Structure 1
């Protein structure tokens, strides 16, 4: 069984993470894997109380649990096994078991984000049922899924528009984004993290102009002429092009629920991949809304966050914390997939 531990970890690191920061570290001891957070990997405003990283760790855990079943292992999972070390996220102990054909296993290596414009249209009823079954099938507690279609997507579209505005109206968010852009394939291969510029799926004209936006003084100047509202309008258009918007809410903001939201997200994303559907996580502002401090946000930023909070309640139909927002639909294949660090244990 030990031969499969490395394969289980390899499945784990295929999980999504904010700006492809990959905030994980693994320790292996026999048939045990300990998962640790690396806080310096994600220092964004989004990662208040490491919640963005906890979502990523949850997705990583779900991949490992799926892979374990494929490789004839039973996994005993424990969150935060050492309370004195808050960076020790989880411990997985493996024992021999019968191999199970988990339908999500092959989707782990195929799952990717797709930021292209989608083709609209309704999701088939069967697809919707399968997505809901994927979300609830593992008995994950503390979070729930809601899908929005047709005009119900409008609130979600307005939310992501505010989110993209904030990236270009807040210097910290702006700097974090551009620090993580990899401008050519060679840089993407060398670092194996961050956002390969090709994954942004920019139109040719936008691809030429985008490097200029790295200069925040220039961004601040063109804001006076409505540039960030144009960026917001494009984000709104992308959401409206989808077949559905997805919302994952959590019962409370305990660390365990952020992990479970990540696990549910990954299961939904894997099911979408199985069905040949495109998926785009568009969730930054949902994390800003949950911040319990205004540090790093000026009054104009806070005004946008307040608007987003109202829209989130409208879209979700609940006062529960909204952890994640995404769009799903059909479109052409993405240009390229993000890389991962070479595994170190």
Structure 2
């Protein structure tokens, strides 16, 4: 195959828009250029307070790139991918050029089937533990994309992370501009982007280990506490340049889809990444070479509420 066409572009974009993004801001665009598909950031959807340096947009667009790769591979038209291919064009996230045609692998077909089923479940998870073999698959999924995933084991590690995350959340709650921008992306009525109040978690309570974003004033059902020993994974990569953050987005999406295919629910915790002092504290606590890019919560929960997506025609 020498060139992608409009059909391939639409296929890639339709999968790409199912990626996660902070505030469900959907900061991506897809374009056909010279027979290749470009994934680009959409400057009109930049979050000036929630994402001051563009980290979250690059992470989201990296996740969208992974979805686009999967869709093309599933169609038998796999891509050769270059991340951040033009140092003079910061908005160009990835360039997908046609590779040799072949049938999709079993793993590609399985992950592609999980794209439509993946969404963030912010509600409490059941106490059922995640089996060891599934944990191993999650770690391997990150490694496949040159990322790493550290799953926190034991209450000592969980407690230390909880202190860092809750401290970062308090810092962000004191930032009036940050909170106002978050509120502007929270919707009571139907919208094609943002977070519907129905998709938000119940109000946090003092005994909760992990911080929750404030999306509504709903209280949880009596006796339905958040898990006392949650499974938390910290995903990172070796560096922290824009290209590293895009790479982390690809790793994030492979991990999320692997979790979905295994029957897990997930949600993301970004507060300790957004506050520089907290992020450095988290990095030191891990004893890892590299930089944490996002935190993921894994478990089994009741069916949640997927967030909406813009029509694919709006992002092409």
Q: Deviations over 1:174-202 (max 9, x none)?
A: 11110100112x3x2xxx11111111032
Q: Deviations over 1:116-158 (max 9, x none)?
A: 1112343211111111222123xx23x3111013312122222
For 2:291, the equivalent position in structure 1 comes to 321
1:187-226 mapped onto 2 (5 Å cutoff): 188=191, 192-202=192-202, 206=203
Matched, 1:181 2:186: yes
Q: Which whole-Å CA distance do the structure 2 matches of 1:25 and 1:237 have between them?
A: 31
Counterpart CA distance in 1 for 2:136 and 2:111 is 16
Which residue of structure 2 lines up, in the alignment, with residue 283 of structure 1?
270
Match of residue 236, structure 1, among 193, 204, 210: 210
Distance verdict in 2 for CA 1:71–1:183, change over 3 Å: same
Task: Quote the residue 1:272 is aligned against.
Answer: 259
Give the stretch that moved more between structures: 111-120 or 31-40: 31-40
Which residue number in structure 2 is paired with residue 294 of structure 1?
Answer: none
- 2:122 maps to 1:135: no
Distance 1:134 1:75, change over 3 A: same
CA shift digits 1:10-58 (9 cap, x unpaired): 1111100111111111112464211111234132434243111110011
Q: Supply the distance in 1 between the matched residues of 2:245 and 2:194 (Cα, whole angstroms).
A: 22
C-alpha contact (below 8 Å) 2:172/2:271 kept by paired residues: no
RMSD: 2.3
Q: Are 1:69 and 2:73 matched, yes or no?
A: yes
The answer to whether residue 169 in structure 2 is matched with residue 169 in structure 1 is: no
Equivalent residue number for residue 121 of structure 2: 114
Structure 2 residue 312 is the aligned partner of structure 1 residue 343: yes
Instruction: Tell me the distance in 1 between the aligned counterparts of 2:126 and 2:25.
Output: 29
Structure 2 CA distance for partners of 1:201 and 1:287, relative to 1, 3 Å: closer
Distance 1:329 1:77 in 2: 32
1:325-345 per-residue CA deviation (whole Å, 9 max, x = no partner) reads: 1211111111x1111111132
Distance 1:233 1:168, change over 3 A: farther
Q: Please say if residues 31 and 95 of structure 1, whose CA atoms lie closer than 8 Å, have aligned partners that are also in contact.
A: no
- Deviation digits for residues 98-123 of structure 1 (CA, Å, limit 9, x no counterpart): 12141201001110001011123432
SS state at 2:9 partner: helix
Cα drift, residue 234 of structure 1:
3.9
Matched, 1:260 2:247: yes
Q: CA deviation at 1:83?
A: 2.4
Which consecutive unaligned segments of at least 5 residues does structure 1 have? 207-229, 290-305
Residue correspondences, number: 293
Pair 1:331 & 2:305 matched:
no
After superposition, the Cα gap between the structure-2 partners of 1:158 and 1:40, relative to the gap in structure 1 and judged at 3 Å, is farther
Give the TM-score taking structure 2 as reference length: 0.85
SS in 2 for 1:246: strand
Note the C-alpha offset of 1:67: 1.2
